[in-house]
Amino acid sequence: MKNYDIERHVRGESQFVDDISYPKGLLYAAVCYSDQAHGEIINIDISDVEQVKGIKLILTAKDIPGENQIGGIVPDEELLAEYKVEFIGQPIAIVVADDQLTAKKAARKIKVDIKDLPIITDARKAYEAGKLIVPPRTFNLGNVDDCWKKCDYIIQGTVESGGQEHLYLETQGAFAYPVEGRGIKIISSTQAPTAVQRVTARILNLAMHKIEVDVPRIGGGFGGKEDQATAWAVICALAAYKTKYPVKLILSRQEDMRATGKRHPYTSDFKIGLNKKKKIIGYEVTFYQNAGAAADLSPAILERTLFHCTNSYYIPNVKATAYSCKTNLPPNTAFRGFGGPQGMFVIESAMYKAAEKMGIDTSEIQNANLIKENDEFPYGQKAENCNALITWKRAEAKYSIKKTKDDIKKFNDKNDMYKKGIAFIPICFGISFTNTSMNQASALVHVYTDGSVSVSTAAVEMGQGVNEKIRQIATETLSINIDRIKTETTNTTRIANTSPTAASSAADLNGKATEQACNNILERLKKSAAEILNLKAVKNIEIKNEIVYHNGKRTKLSWNELVKQTNLKRVNLSSHSFYATPNIYFDREKEKGNPFAYHVYGTAIIEVTVDCLRGIYKFDSVKVVHDFGKSFNPIIDRGQAEGAIVQGLGWMTIEEVMHDENARLLTDSLSTYKVPDMHFTPEIEIEFLKNVENPMGIFKSKAIGEPPFMYGIGGYFAIMNALKAFRPNADFKISSPITPEKVLLNLHSKIDEPVTA
Amino acid sequence: MKAEINFICNNSEIEASVHPGLSLLDFLRKELRLTGTKEGCREGDCGACTILIGEYIGKDIIYHSVNSCLLPIGDVFGKHVVTIEGLNNNELNAVQKSFVEEGASQCGFCTPGFIVSLTGYFLSNKKFNVNHAIESMDGNVCRCTGHFSIIKAAQSSTKFLSKISSGKNHLNDLMKVGIIPEYFSSIKERLGELKQKTALTQTDSTIKFIIAGGTDLFVQKWEDILDGKVNLLSSNGISNLIKEENKKCIIGARASVTDLIESKIIRKYLPSLTEKLKLFGSLPIRNRATIGGNIINASPIADITSILLALNSTLYLKQKKTERTLPLKDLYKGYKKLDLKKDELIDRISFPLPAENSYFSFEKVSKRTYLDIASVNSSVYLEVDKNQITEIHLSAGGVAPIPLYLKYSSEFLLGKEISSENIHEAVNIALSEIAPISDVRGSKEYKALLLRQLIFAHFITLFPEKVNIKEIA
Ligand SMILES: Cc1cc2nc3c(=O)[nH]c(=O)nc-3n(C[C@H](O)[C@H](O)[C@H](O)COP(=O)(O)OP(=O)(O)OC[C@H]3O[C@@H](n4cnc5c(N)ncnc54)[C@H](O)[C@@H]3O)c2cc1C
Ligand code: FES
Ligand code: FES
């Protein structure tokens, strides 16, 4: 199944925002950012800059015609800071010039006088100071307070997980130009065209219909362009609106890294209780989410942390509380997994520490507590078509786990310098936006008189292959050659009120809408065919491979002819169709409901070798059995899984976001923030779990974008197990990422070695 | 400042009047509107901007991959620049097809860079090996695929090409299977004609930047470069040859790290470096990064400098017509402070050829093993006679404001036996010689511990029967 998009990628012909040919007279915007993390703006002095040759316009908050507000869930974020700055990298002013470098240099010259206010970067400190973004949330199941007395083992601890830079290879950017009637058209690298449209309308004080947002494709998003692409697009729009010229803004890598939010760091406390049979009786957990300076998507991310706080396990008594803490970092935002990984890392850590205390392998506890059919999640939904245990067992068998473990033991007994570690990681991830109202999508399908087909949906192509999947859905539904089908850019004028391309759900939601739209047209075509062929009943008519069949017999009527004649008969060859996921709801008063259309399951086994002399490591292999549902594009699905796994391993290991005490980002370039490269990548083996049709997914498949990211968590524990082989009695702190620095300090520093038991 | 520069870009002769310090990336994207070459970082760390440069070496045109974001356009004068657009035929070629078949591209932003790197490998090598093909993409980062599918694409295209290439008329063989378009056959002649037209000369006292490979300068100062006058070392008579003379190895200051790796002399006398130098940057960076630049940039973690310190190197410094020599270890006076006069250039570097009874080791640890700056590096050169150390030089990077020669630990070990106790003692002395600071590359505690480990690593690797990890755990 070849992917039309990739054929252009390999020739360098795919056009990203910065590649599109622009009209003469194009201007460039540059942003003046706050270089202090918290303070009152006393004065903004643009006098040095105004006179510079090539400068067209300088804009500050007071030049905004509408409301200076870009917040989505909570209205707490200005486009341009007016009285107060709350993080380094916060936009304060915009410079528009006739070339990029002039604009950038001028923006840096603007003098902003800021009176310092105290800086908080740590989530717990923010919590203690009462700085919360939204009220806390608590999920309850059973009765935790009464359960501890039934436990033979109780373990408590603290878990830290670090942030993560999205590092989409294409930096944030947009291009905007004025159109007739004081409107603006924006080409944006965003996952959320409607958000860009809505916020632009608000900022410019225009009706939404005056703003057209178009997204040809984006060079990676991973959540980083869900909410945080908006500001840059709006800045271009504002500048274009004011100057009446086309304006472009493409962030440099360093600007992008400094000014945009990342995956939320979390710090969490847990208490877990088990009985002698390794069953978890109770789990109490408190999450402190480092939200940064504004809400952005943090409340929704916080919620997903709670949804996934027990990962793939059934635990009868659970109490999980989560605080979204306001700090002076750029607002943290969506990133593949959306808070789920942070929640899962804590339960996995708790089980690791419990196993340590009980003197057994963590996998024994994991296995003993896997969720089964009809078991209840802490949010009230019951597990249906549950594949947790099946993938686990299949992974054990397929990857000869007994032998692998023996081999590792032998290797470790023989080697002093190198130690191997292995870990299991099961995953369970709920599919649907947890904000039920967002689970909607639409598609607009046109069949042209030459038989070619155009499909527009709300889905943004960002590498996840959604365009190709939509084409497949159209080609299968209409039974015509795939070359006839073109997916269009994502455009707010063609498809309105879209949900962002996020939550792994774009193919499901937009695919279902596409399928319906194609079916609508198909029904009309069949009726028309019946008329053309002088048949009474439509019901025995079929289109197969571009030919009309009647009662299973081939007729002379071809796709092209049918389309042409249907048009002449004045029948509509277009359809706009709408899809909303059925049967999902969530009651935030009770914190119970049925928020997910379905869950994705899988199990991975991860092996690593640690060089205990130098403190470096290399993952040997990641072996997976994953529930893809009935995949209708295994190449795309496998690619998503592989990419997510490696990104997950990166989050757990070498990807370290560091700030200094003034909240200044230290890792603000690719030379200081390291992501996995060719050499890092391990062998990856993925088995598609068989016979698992998913009634809720498009063509019976399952969503794939996010779930495999969480396999990366196993990488952390594989390394921990290797460290244990070198230093069996040490009580290692749980703090990700486990960089080579932490590995070496764990192995060789003269820390005390308190034994846990 | 402007200069007339002519070169061939893909299949077109280009004449431009531009600042010679303009990055080729900007010229390609903005002037020629060849947008298949992408900007992902502008600091040589992502590979999205990778292109190929073909130039005469001897009688043949040899192609190398480089990062166009760090490449001064002045340096492509008289050369053949190949971008992704210049590799396209009507049909997808075998490399491109392998990416499509393996699903080795998702968002596509990194993809042209990968295709160019891998094609560059097939162009510049006559025998293909899967691991080397994969390594040729060590300067490319893909955030979407996780690289596994790209590795598979490299495997399948290598397999396919191994069957076809006969090796004799390499370009023709590649052309026949469509890996490169037909026009490549005309380049040799066309470049020859170009060469005679003009030459780039500029030497005067108002020069602000001397650019060698540009891999440090363009990262640190690309905007300033465009404001001032620049001089390209390539047009300055400084050699890039590596030769053997009077029991010494002489390295022209303009030699690149790739030149070093490929040098027969280095392979003979310091064989471990071939493998170890893969830890330096990436292939396109190594193709440009010069030895002289590494020394003068004076970064405390400079890898080549660490190696040359342990090899007891001497610099030949040239100023107009005068020349002086300076032991490398005396060059550094403080953080980025050098015993170097204005207008003084390194002409060449020399070190005594390693003796028969000598040992050499280079160690480097960074957060990511490849294409990353060291947290700490260290090198040692020693000669051993009857179990006694008769000559020894230890160096350490990342633990002081300068690339550090470990004088006292070296002195201590001189005349000693190789034993665990002596290494322990030498490590203690080394730890008193250093002054690490905490930064993005690690905390000072980590760096001190890491240096200890790396010094042990030298001896555990070189003398496994005498020093063992158990004794240091
Ligand atoms: C992505 C990336 C990865 C890197 N990885 C590594 C690594 O792993 N290890 C490492 O050590 N370095 C690394 N570097 C740094 C850099 O590549 C090296 O320091 C390189 O050797 C610099 O050489 P250059 O010719 O590119 O220097 P340039 O940038 O051209 O020059 C650097 C300085 O030296 C001066 N100079 C150059 N030649 C001479 C001369 N002959 N005489 C007098 N002055 C001169 C220049 O004027 C300038 O001030 C990396 C850089 C990048 C961008
Ligand atoms: S743009 Fe990233 S290496 Fe050149
Ligand atoms: S395909 Fe998106 S970065 Fe490689």
A173 and A209 in a single domain? The answer is: yes
Looking at chain A, the number of H-run helices and the number of E-run strands are 19, 30
Q: Which ligand is nearest to the CA of A222?
A: 3
CA distance B470 to chain A (A): 7
Q: Which residues line ligand 2 (CB under 6 A)?
A: B 39-42, 44-49, 67, 69
Q: Of B284, B261, B287, B256, which is closest to residue B272 (Cα–Cα)?
A: B261
Residue ranges making up the domain that contains A744: 266-433+590-748
Rama region for A552: left / alpha / beta (φ>0; ψ in -120 to 50; rest): left
Eight-state DSSP code of residue B234 = G
Could you read off the pLDDT of A649-668 as tens digits, one per residue? 999 999 999 999 999 999 99
Q: Using the mean position of ligand 2's atoms as its centre, give its distance from the Cα of residue B324 in Å.
A: 38
Cα–Cα dist A13/B105, whole Å = 13
How many degrees, rounded to 5, is the angle at CA A15 between CA A14 and CA A18? 145
Rounded Cα–Cα distance for residues B362 and B406 (Å): 14
For chain B, domain boundaries: 3-197, 242-471
Maximal CA-CA distance, chain B: 68
Please, is B198 exposed, middle or buried when counting C-beta atoms within 10 Å of its C-beta (0-12, 13-18, 19+)? middle
Torsion of CA B399, B401, B403, B408, to 10 degrees: -70
pLDDT in tens, chain B (473 residues): 888 999 999 999 999 999 999 999 999 999 999 999 999 999 999 999 999 999 998 888 999 999 999 999 999 999 999 999 999 999 999 999 999 999 999 999 999 999 999 999 999 998 999 999 999 999 999 999 999 999 999 999 999 998 876 667 888 999 998 999 999 999 999 998 886 555 555 556 688 899 999 999 999 999 999 998 899 998 878 999 999 999 999 999 999 999 999 999 999 999 999 999 999 999 999 999 999 999 999 999 999 999 999 999 999 999 988 999 999 999 999 999 999 998 899 999 999 999 999 999 999 999 999 999 999 999 999 999 998 999 999 999 999 999 999 999 999 999 999 999 999 999 999 999 999 999 999 999 999 999 999 999 999 999 999 988 877 76
Note the pLDDT tens digit of each residue in A253-308. 999 999 999 999 999 999 999 999 999 999 999 999 999 999 999 999 999 999 99
CA distance B105 to chain A (A): 6
Distance from CA of B452 to the nearest CA of A (A): 10
The answer to whether the Cβ–Cβ distance between B143 and A171 falls below 8 Å is: no
DSSP H or E run through A194: helix A193-204
B370 vs A220, A677, A740: nearest CB: A677
What are the tens digits of pLDDT across the range A593-648?
A: 999 999 999 999 999 999 999 999 999 999 999 999 999 999 999 999 999 999 99
Q: Which chain B residues are within 8 Å of A741, Cβ to Cβ? A: 367, 375, 442-443, 446
Which of B43, B85, B370 shows the shortest C-beta gap to A12? B85
Tell me, yes or no, whether A280 and A241 share the same domain: no
Q: Which atom of ligand 3 is nearest to the CA of B105?
A: 1
d(CA A245, CA B17): 29
Residue B195: predicted pLDDT: 65
Of A496, A508, A509, A493, nearest to A441 by C-alpha is A509
Whether A722 and A676 share a structural domain: yes
pLDDT, tens only, A312-362: 999 999 999 999 999 999 999 999 999 999 999 999 999 999 999 999 999
Among residues B472, B3, B470, the alpha carbon closest in space to that of B235 is found at B3
Partner-chain contact B43 A464, CB within 8 Å: no
Burial class, B419, CB count within 10 angstroms (exposed 0-12 / middle 13-18 / buried 19+): middle
The pLDDT of A173-185, averaged and rounded, is 97
Collapsing DSSP to helix, strand or coil, A29 comes out as strand
Nearest residue by C-alpha to atom 2 in ligand 3:
B107
- CA dihedral sign, ordered A397, A399, A401, A406: positive
The size of the A-B interface in CB pairs under 8 A is 245
The alpha carbon of residue B147 is apart from the nearest alpha carbon of chain A, in Å, by: 6
Q: Can you give the CATH number for the domain in which A547 is found? A: 3.30.365.10
End of a domain among A533, A559, A580? A580
Chain A residue with the nearest C-alpha to that of B469: A417
From the CA of B68, give the closest atom in ligand 2: 4
Pocket of ligand 1 (CB under 6 A): B 43-45, 210-217, 219, 233, 238, 253, 280-281, 285, 288-290, 292-294, 296-297, 302-304, 345-346, 373
* Ligand 1 atom nearest residue B291's Cα: 21
A552 and A619 share a domain? no
CA A219 to centroid of ligand 3, rounded, Å: 7
Nearest-10 Cα torsion for A522, A527, A530, A531 = -130
**Which of B144, B157, B221 to mutate against chain A (most A CBs within 10 Å)?**
B144
Distance CA A509, CA A276 (A): 45
Please say whether the beta carbons of A4 and A468 come within 8 A. Answer: yes
Are both A340 and A422 inside the same structural domain? yes
The separation between the first and the last C-alpha atoms of chain B, rounded to the nearest angstrom, is 59
Q: Which CATH class is domain B242-471?
A: alpha beta
Can you tell me the mean pLDDT for A363-375?
A: 98
Average pLDDT score over residue span A412-424: 97
Choosing among A3, A6, A418, which should be mutated to test the B contact, i.e. which has the most B CBs within 10 A? A6
Query: Amino acid identity of B125?
Result: N
Is B138 in contact with A677 (Cβ distance < 8 A)? yes
Contacts of B100 in chain A (CB under 8 A): 2-3, 6-7, 10
Question: Are A668 and A754 a contacting pair, CB within 8 Å?
Answer: no
Interchain CB distance below 8 Å, A745 and B446: yes
Strands A490-491 and A211-215: antiparallel
Helical packing angle, B148-164 and A634-652, nearest 10°: 120
Ligand closest in space to the Cα of B106: 3
Ligand nearest the Cα atom of residue B225: 1
**Would you please indicate which residues of A are annotated as catalytic (active-site) residues?**
706
Q: Shortest CB distance from B145 goes to which of A18, A217, A643?
A: A643
Using an 8 Å CB-CB cutoff, list chain B residues near A462. Answer: 107
- A60 Cβ contact list (under 8 Å, min separation 6): A44, A46, A80, A82, A92, A93, A94
CA-closest residue to ligand 3 atom 4: B142
Pair A738, A597 in one domain: yes
Cα of A481 vs centre of ligand 1, distance in Å, is 54
Ligand 2 probe mutation, B42, B52, B138, B287, most atoms within 8 A of CB: B42
Q: What letter represents residue A358's amino acid?
A: M
Q: Whose CA is nearest to atom 6 of ligand 1?
A: B281
A425 and A315 co-located in one domain: yes
Ligand 3 atom showing the smallest separation from residue B114 Cα = 4
Note whether A464 contacts B375, CB cutoff 8 Å.
no
Residue A755 lies in a domain: no
Mean pLDDT taken over chain A: 96
Same domain, A626 and A694: yes
Kindly report the protein residue whose alpha carbon is nearest to atom 3 of ligand 2: B44
| pLDDT above 80: residue A3 | no
- Is B337 close to ligand 3, i.e. is its CB under 6 Å away? no
> Helix-strand-coil percent breakdown of chain A, rounded to 5?
30, 25, 40
In CATH, which of 1.10.1040.50, 3.40.140.10, 3.20.20.120, 3.10.20.30 is domain B3-197? Answer: 3.10.20.30
User: Which one of B36, B103, B226 has the shortest CB-CB distance to A635?
Assistant: B103
Cβ–Cβ contacts within 10 Å for residue B334, how many? Answer: 9
Chain B residues within 8 A of A218 when measuring between CB atoms: 107
Q: What is the B283 CA–ligand 2 centroid distance (Å)?
A: 13
- The beta-carbon neighbor of A741 closest among B84, B146, B446 is B446
Beta strand B50-57 pairing with B60-67? antiparallel
Report the gap between the CA of A742 and the closest CA in chain B (Å).
8
In a domain? residue A124 = no
Across the beta sheet with B50-57, what order do the strands follow? Answer: B12-18, B3-9, B80-82, B50-57, B60-67
Residues A362 and A447 in one domain: no
pLDDT tens for each residue of A472-505:
999 999 999 999 999 999 999 999 999 999 999 9
Query: What's the gap in Å between the CA of A423 and the closest CA on chain B?
Result: 20
Ligand 2, atom nearest to B42 Cα: 1
Residue A185 CA: distances (Å) to CA of A196, A210, A216, A241, A631: 11, 8, 13, 10, 37
Domains identified in chain A, total number: 3
Containing A240, the helix (H) or strand (E) segment is helix A230-243
Distances (CA, A) of A194 to A295, A399, A555: 19, 45, 45
- Type of residue numbered B140: N
Contact A169 B142 (CB under 8 A): yes
Question: Which residues are bridge partners to A27 per DSSP?
Answer: A247
Rg (CA), chain A: 27
Best A2, A99, A169, A250 residue to mutate vs chain B (most B CBs within 10 Å): A169
As given in the structure block, the two tokens for residue B148 are: 């596994």
> How would residue A84 be classed by pLDDT, with cut points 50, 70 and 90?
very high
Which of A616, A422, A651, A746 lies closest to B370 in space, CA to CA? A616
Peptide bond into A737 cis (omega under 30): yes
Residue closest to A364 by CA, chosen among A488, A277, A283, A250: A277
Take residue A493 and report the two structure tokens written for it: 């004028």
Nearest residue to B207 via CA among B228, B182, B233, B238: B228
Residues of B in contact with A463 (CB under 8 A): 106-108, 144
State the distance from the centre of ligand 3 to the C-alpha of B26, rounded, in angstroms.
Answer: 21
Determine the distance in angstroms separating the CA of B225 from the nearest CA of chain A, rounded to an integer.
Answer: 13
Residue linked to tokens 């071939």: B274
Asked if the Cβ–Cβ distance from A11 to B42 is below 8 Å, we say no
Residues A444 and A417 in one domain: no
Percent share of chain A, pLDDT over 90: 96
By the 10 Å C-beta count (0-12 exposed, 13-18 middle, 19+ buried), B90 is classed as exposed
H-state helical runs in B108-200:
111-124, 130-135, 148-164, 170-176, 184-197
- Mean pLDDT along residues A224-242: 98
- Specify the residue for token string 């780039």: B200
Structure tokens at A527: 């009726």
Query: Which burial class, exposed, middle or buried, applies to B89 when counting CB atoms under 10 A from its CB (0-12, 13-18, 19+)?
Result: middle
Q: Cβ A744–B446 below 8 Å, yes or no?
A: yes
- The verdict on A213 and A307 lying in the same domain is no
Q: Tens of pLDDT along A88-97?
A: 999 999 999 9
User: What are A730-754's pLDDT values in tens digits?
Assistant: 899 999 999 999 999 999 976 444 3
Q: Is A104 in the same domain as A225?
A: yes
Are the C-beta atoms of residues B433 and B378 closer than 8 Å to each other?
Answer: no
- From B38, B45, B143, the mutation candidate for ligand 3 (largest count of ligand atoms within 8 A of CB) is B143
Scored b (16 or more CB within 10 A) or e, A469-483 reads bbbbbbbebbbbeee
